[in-house]
Amino acid sequence: MSLEREEPTHFGAGPAQLPTHVLQQAALDLINYKDIGLGIGEISHRSKDATQVIEDSKTHLKELLNIPDTHEVFFMQGGGTTGFSSLATNLETAYVGKNGKLGKCGYLVTGSWSQKAYEEAHRLRLPAEIIFDSRKYDSNGKFGSIPNESEWSSNLNGDYAYVYLCENETVHGVEWPNLPECIVSNPNIELVADLSSNILSRHIDISKYGVIMAGAQKNIGLAGLTLYIIKKTILNDIQNANQTKLDELNVPVTPIAFDYPTVVKNNSAYNTIPIFTLHIMDLVFQHLKAKGGIKQQEVENELKQKSIYDALDSYPNFYNLPVDKSVRSKMNVVFTLKDSSLDGKFLEEASKLKLTGLKGHRSVGGFRASIYNALTVESVNKLSKFVKDFAEANSK
């Protein structure tokens, strides 16, 4: 069977399209890695070759994001949902380790993923608090905007173990254009952020984050593995937490496989790390470095989002874009047709042009074009042309 394929134009939200040559190399390595006679998925996770994959992945990520020495990188099984619980218990433990008391778990809810993150912390019986729910600030009572800081910063009351946000909400197409200054400028608050769907899509200042979590399957790899970037001081605070005090305060015990200091001490291999999945992630890192790094990727992503949003905005009587322009996602473009009876036709004609993965999330309907890093400018331009042609052909 050939490893060649026609370059896809798949706009699925995740698992998502990956660069073809990354998958070609991964396919070869799955059979025979570095001519050792075994595939990379067959080698021990504690072997020299596997350790090198882990070290290379960390090095390449640090280079791409210019990660300072104040932060540590590690990889852990699972995805965003695993992170919802592990972040909550680890960060609360860290707060107790530093302060000897409970801190509130604050959530900035801008879509379904940050809502689910809050619900998990609440389910674990931690002192979880919604600092704001953007639906309450929206004229339609839906996710589609982010309130101005001046409207909610006064809600920050008391001591916080952390404040959590999802930087890009894939379902609702809402993305924070900038981090909230009232959080990042407060030395007593650790910002915890889910960057699963926009990691490596643009430049970010790592020093502003306490913890970054990013599931792989949207922008950087396959499902089943998540990368974390964490302040080393937080790791120290977790280790310093007194178990008797934690029991007294009813802080849930973090399962050992998800205890951050344990994972870091064992170089992400305390539990058997899916090394093939990590290898693909590292191939994506290497691909991005070779094309010019974050700077070049950000240029391409700006061109892509402008292309598709301009096309949709050109037909305001045909397409509806529910997200406020100031917070439109550059990764997940959501829209509906004014005439929903044309929905099936839209998908059918798009499919004939091999434009796939455009159906919206089941909870909101409509359409969603996920234009992650692997989607080329040419691919997005092809979709933009279809958007225009379809509106022209079907406008009354």
- Cite the active site residues: 113, 194, 218
The Cα–Cα gap between 291 and 146 comes to 33
Q: How far is CA 390 from CA 241, 309, 334, 342, 343, in A?
A: 60, 15, 17, 10, 11
Q: 157: closest CA among 123, 129, 116?
A: 129
DSSP states along 19-34: -HHHHHHHHHHHH-GG
The Cα–Cα gap between 353 and 347 comes to 10
Angle at which helix 275-290 crosses helix 293-313, to 10 degrees, equals 80
The Cα–Cα gap between 378 and 4 comes to 19
Largest CA distance in the chain: 70
Q: Which is it for strands 319-320 and 332-337: parallel, antiparallel or unpaired?
A: antiparallel
At 298, list the tokens: 């950000």
What distance lies between CA 107 and its chain's CA centroid? 16
The Cα–Cα gap between 329 and 177 comes to 9
Alpha helices (runs of H) in the chain, residue ranges in sequence order:
20-31, 48-65, 80-99, 112-123, 149-152, 181-184, 232-240, 243-248, 260-265, 275-290, 293-313, 343-352, 377-394
What distance lies between CA 260 and its chain's CA centroid? 19
The Cα–Cα gap between 263 and 128 comes to 25
The Cα–Cα gap between 16 and 235 comes to 32
Q: 369: closest CA among 300, 304, 278, 315?
A: 304
Q: How far is CA 337 from CA 269, 316, 341, 386, in A?
A: 48, 10, 8, 14
At 369, list the tokens: 């074009």
